[in-house]
């Protein structure tokens, strides 16, 4: 099958065309990297890559898929001895750069959560 796919980005990791197979106009098979490789450079410890990673497909013409909850892959820390928090979405998806606003985080395993960070910045959690 002829492909117009230039590559796939998982978190900060780039998957080149040679590492993916376009099965149809609605299906791609690719080998994803280990979770630690998808964390941004300089990510604060103890990030090991567990959690959600945006998956973005880019075509040869430069157009890319939109990020969003349907385009998120969840890495799970299978070595953990307790429940691992899993974020499946946030609302609203975007916000103002100049002012703080409430954000609702959806998912599971939040019982006992002690902190929330956005881009490495700690935020006040409320219930």
Q: What is the pLDDT of residues 65-118, one digit of tens each?
A: 887 777 877 766 666 566 667 777 777 766 676 777 788 887 777 777 777 877
User: What is the C-alpha separation between 100 and 103, in angstroms, rounded?
Assistant: 9
pTM higher than 0.75, yes or no? Answer: no
Q: Which one has a higher pLDDT value, 126 or 15?
A: 15
3-state helix, strand, coil in the chain (%, to 5): 10, 40, 55
**Mean pLDDT of all residues belonging to the chain:** 75
Count of all residues that appear for the chain in the document:
127
Q: What percent of the chain has pLDDT over 90?
A: 2
pLDDT of residue 1 exceeding 60, the answer is no
């Amino acid at each position: 099958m002829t492909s117009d796919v230039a590559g796939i980005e998982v978190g900060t990791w780039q998957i080149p065309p040679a590492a993916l197979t376009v099965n149809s106009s609605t299906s791609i098979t690719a080998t994803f990297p280990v979770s630690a490789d998808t964390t941004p450079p300089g990510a604060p410890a103890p990030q090991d890559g567990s959690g959600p990673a945006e998956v973005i497909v880019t075509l040869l013409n430069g157009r890319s898929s939109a990020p969003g909850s349907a385009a998120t892959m969840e890495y799970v820390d299978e070595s953990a001895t307790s429940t691992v928090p899993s974020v499946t979405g946030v609302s609203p998806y975007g916000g103002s750069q100049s002012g703080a606003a409430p954000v609702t985080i959806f998912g599971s395993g939040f019982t006992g959560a002690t902190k929330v960070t956005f881009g490495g910045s700690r935020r006040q959690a409320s219930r």
